[in-house]
Amino acid sequence: MTVATIQMRIYFTALTAPVHPIALDAPTTAVFLGHGIVTVMMTVVMEQMNLGNEDDCHNRPCDKETEYHCHNGKCISKQWYCDLDNDCGDHSDEPAFLCRQKNCTEGWRKCPGRTNYRCIPEWLFCDGKDDCRDNTDEQPENCPKCHENGDFQCNNRRCIPKRWLCDFENDCGDNSDEEEEMCRSDRYCREEKFQCDNHLCVEMRDLCDGSNDCYDNSDERESLCSNYTCNTLRRFQCNNHKCIPLYQKCDGIDNCGDGSDENNMTICSHRPRPCIFNEFHCANQKCIGSNKICDHADVCGDSSDELGCYTASNCTVGGCEQTCTDLKDGGYVCHCIRGFRISPNNPKICNDIDECAEFTHNCSQLCTNLNGTHACSCREGFVAEINGVCRLEQGAITLIYSDSPEIRAFNLTSHTAKCIIKGDNIESLDYEPVSGIVYWTDSYGKTIKRSYLPGSPERANVTMGYAQNLDIESRAKPTGMVVDWAGLNLYWSETDRTGNKPRGSILVSTLDGRYRHSIITTGLEVPTSVVVDPDHGYMFWIDIGSIPKIETSWMDGSKRRILVSDAISQPTGLSIDFAMEHTIYWVDVKLNKIEMMREDGTRRTLVAYGNYLKHPLSLDVFESSIYWVTRDSGEIYSMDKFGRGVPVKLPGEFANPSSIKGAS
């Protein structure tokens, strides 16, 4: 078999572009055709074919219609005559004095150079390529004039149809037909629709709804959504300016992404649904079927469906103090309006429910019981909002948290974080607001250190704190720590694991580390957190040893007793809400729980529970919110301290936060 490669020059018409003939120079000349590049190379395989020798080819007669006869006897295509290429090999196809007088084929144009008689297609002028080989076809004065209405002139003076503008194809060759400013200003959509950057048209109601309806995210651009106002008749506007359907408001799901559709206690305050005609309204606002009352079963959960039951007579002669319901099988039941319950001593009398004493209120600070209801108020320095929420009157809240080898401060107003103190391995910390000093435990050096808090009013120009070692090292590892801001003492817990069984203890010293002594040394295995209440003289701590429990004693270690030992697994963080009657909060990292109770262990209430807590490790309470750090994801979250709404992740990058403290 004989294989030969034949180089060919081909003329054809582009069907995808304006009708122009296109010339390709063999073997590898690339010609832009509309939106593509065509390179032609043909290989012809001739089997059992005698191609003859070169002399035979030169001496063959040329076709007078299609070929030109060179002086050396070679035959070439007539189209190659006067094309500025030495196709004959002896330059006989390029006589300059004759070629200058030759006219170009229709649709072609002679190169402007005085000595250049080459003809090229008109559309190759000003295409960004030197087709004339002397660059005269790219000079501005030789570029064709674009059609006033139908063409667009590129920056390189090439003309393209206007319909090719902003189609994501570089038709000009210099991308001037795809410039962002021009494409954004061109209007392709009707006035009642929004035009995306990619020229898609979407409904105005789809703007800033958190969904990428444009497929290039231009309908969710921050510069657009930061000033966008939703149609409040159909949409709810989040604090981050996102728009969501009204039915998604207060549905228990964070549709906004910042929790503002769930955590606004003004719009999401709990309103008990009214019971329908065949239901009984319990004192705890629960609705049960009328056939469930007076059946000797506490269906309501507060016995209000069983108290006040009479099997004889009816409501006409019943003498109920507030409301009465006749029973279907005879008899009647007395019950009370909201805020009252049946007296256990006289089933016809209604007693006021003390929501403050029973811990059923939602006042973030002070609660005052009233007849049939209660009132909320705030402490000095705070202002009241609707539904019992108290906010700091002046200043901003700063969260101080340990993040691996650093102590960082997060401003809740500006949502900015900065490193304020560098340490080694910080496990727990506390802040003494009067002196402005931060104390922390160094689990690597098994000691406690302290530093002034940079940025405080007395140290506004200081940007970084420096650690002072209190020199209280021991072989036991310090775990929890708290500052007694009234007595100016330091309390901490530590665990000694040098023996077969871990041994825990709680110690106290002055704030400079002097006069150290132990106050709890027995019956303690692995203490993880300790807090004190100087106002009431109590101390509280957690032990996650063989029997997990929360204990309390006086601050000198006497009068010790267990507060919680059931339904807990691995509690790790304690906090006291001094503003709300010294309420105790704690987290259980294993059970994914946040709970609260009175200081005497009564009124234990589940605040939040579920995987969405992400295993809380440490917490603090401030204003009407709780803040906690997560064990697995290493993040910081906040939530209403009564468990209303949804958790919100604080913005920012965190390495490995382990403890947190709020300060104003």
Give dist(CA 563, CA 551) in Å, integer: 5
In this prediction, residue 57 carries a pLDDT of 55
Token pair of 157, please?
């003076």
In this prediction, residue 558 carries a pLDDT of 95
Our measurement of the distance from residue 593's CA atom to the centroid of its chain's CA atoms, rounded to an integer in Å, reads 24
Q: What is the CATH number of domain 392-659?
A: 2.120.10.30
Q: Position 498: which residue type?
A: T
CATH topology of domain 279-353: Laminin (2.10.25)
Report the predicted TM-score, pTM, of the whole model to 2 decimal places: 0.64
Is the confidence at residue 45, as pLDDT, over 80? no
Q: Position 384: which residue type?
A: A
> What's the mean per-residue pLDDT of the chain?
82
In this prediction, residue 488 carries a pLDDT of 93
Per-residue pLDDT tens for 439-482?
999 888 889 999 988 876 667 677 788 888 998 888 899 999 99
End-to-end alpha carbon distance in the chain: 92
Residues 6+ apart with CB under 8 A from 327: 293, 294, 309, 311, 333
Is residue 592 within 8 Å of 608, Cβ to Cβ? no
Is residue 357 within 8 Å of 370, Cβ to Cβ? no
Q: Give the CA distances from residue 636 to residues 167, 266, 407, in Å, rounded to whole numbers and listed in that order.
A: 45, 25, 14
Backbone torsions φ then ψ of 459, nearest 5 degrees: -135, 50
Pairing of strands 30-33, 36-39: antiparallel
Identify the three-state secondary structure at position 290.
helix
Q: Where are the domains of the chain?
A: 1-51, 193-248, 279-353, 358-391, 392-659
Tokens 């405080």 sit on residue: 456
Highest mean pLDDT among 77-86, 133-142, 571-580: 571-580
Token pair of 372, please?
């049939």
In this prediction, residue 512 carries a pLDDT of 92
pLDDT band, residue 135 (cuts 50/70/90)? confident
In this prediction, residue 113 carries a pLDDT of 77
In this prediction, residue 139 carries a pLDDT of 82
Residues 6+ apart with CB under 8 A from 415: 650, 651, 652
Mean pLDDT along residues 28-36: 38
Per-residue pLDDT tens for 376-417?
999 999 998 877 889 888 888 889 999 878 899 898 888 888
DSSP state of 146: P
Mean pLDDT along residues 87-94: 88
Give dist(CA 520, CA 359) in Å, integer: 31
Q: Give the CA distances from residue 466 to residues 231, 369, 450, 463, 484, in Å, rounded to whole numbers and listed in that order.
A: 53, 49, 8, 10, 22
In this prediction, residue 30 carries a pLDDT of 41
Residues 6+ apart with CB under 8 A from 316: none
Token pair of 510, please?
């002055």
Reduced DSSP (H G I as helix, E B as strand, rest coil) percent helix, strand, coil of the chain, to 5:
10, 35, 55
In this prediction, residue 271 carries a pLDDT of 61
Per-residue pLDDT tens for 223-233?
788 777 887 77
Pairing of strands 119-121, 108-110: antiparallel
In this prediction, residue 84 carries a pLDDT of 79
pLDDT band, residue 143 (cuts 50/70/90)? confident
Is the confidence at residue 605, as pLDDT, over 90? yes
Query: Which strands make up the sheet holding 616-622, listed edge to edge?
Result: 616-622, 625-630, 636-640, 648-649
Is residue 115 within 8 Å of 97, Cβ to Cβ? no
CA-nearest of 176, 150, 180, 173 to 163 is: 150
CA 273, 277, 282, 288 dihedral sign is negative
Is the confidence at residue 531, as pLDDT, over 50? yes
Is the confidence at residue 647, as pLDDT, over 70? yes
Per-residue pLDDT tens for 330-372?
888 888 888 888 888 888 899 998 989 888 888 999 999 999 8
Give dist(CA 74, CA 91) in Å, integer: 11
Residue 494 vs residue 664, higher pLDDT: 494
CA-nearest of 381, 380, 395 to 457 is: 395
pLDDT band, residue 9 (cuts 50/70/90)? very low
CB atoms within 10 A of CB 61: 8
Token pair of 474, please?
């021991």
Is the confidence at residue 38, as pLDDT, over 60? no
In this prediction, residue 24 carries a pLDDT of 41
Pairing of strands 571-577, 561-564: unpaired
Q: Position 207: which residue type?
A: L
SS (H, E, C) 588-654: ECCCCEEEEECCCCCCCEEEEECHHHCCEEEEEEECCEEEEEECCCCCEEEEECCCCCCCEECCCCC
Is the confidence at residue 18, as pLDDT, over 60? no
Identify the three-state secondary structure at position 5.
strand
Give dist(CA 113, CA 133) in Å, integer: 10
Is residue 372 within 8 Å of 338, Cβ to Cβ? yes
Q: Give the CA distances from residue 190 to residues 199, 217, 408, in Å, rounded to whole numbers and listed in that order.
A: 11, 20, 51
Is the confidence at residue 652, as pLDDT, over 60? yes
In this prediction, residue 543 carries a pLDDT of 96
Is the confidence at residue 166, as pLDDT, over 50? yes
In this prediction, residue 466 carries a pLDDT of 86
pLDDT band, residue 36 (cuts 50/70/90)? very low
Count how many residues are written for the chain. Answer: 664
In this prediction, residue 369 carries a pLDDT of 93
Give dist(CA 639, CA 563) in Å, integer: 25
CB atoms within 10 A of CB 496: 14
Residue 262 vs residue 530, higher pLDDT: 530
pLDDT band, residue 185 (cuts 50/70/90)? low
Give dist(CA 240, CA 246) in Å, integer: 16
In this prediction, residue 10 carries a pLDDT of 46
Token pair of 282, please?
């319990």
In this prediction, residue 11 carries a pLDDT of 41
Per-residue pLDDT tens for 263-300?
877 677 666 667 887 888 888 778 888 888 888 889 88
Is the confidence at residue 53, as pLDDT, over 90? no
Q: Give the CA distances from residue 604 to residues 248, 596, 624, 650, in Å, rounded to whole numbers and listed in that order.
A: 32, 6, 18, 28
Token pair of 531, please?
């807090």
Number of helices (H), then strands (E), in the chain: 5, 51
In this prediction, residue 491 carries a pLDDT of 97
Percentage of the chain beyond pLDDT 90 is: 29
pLDDT band, residue 171 (cuts 50/70/90)? confident
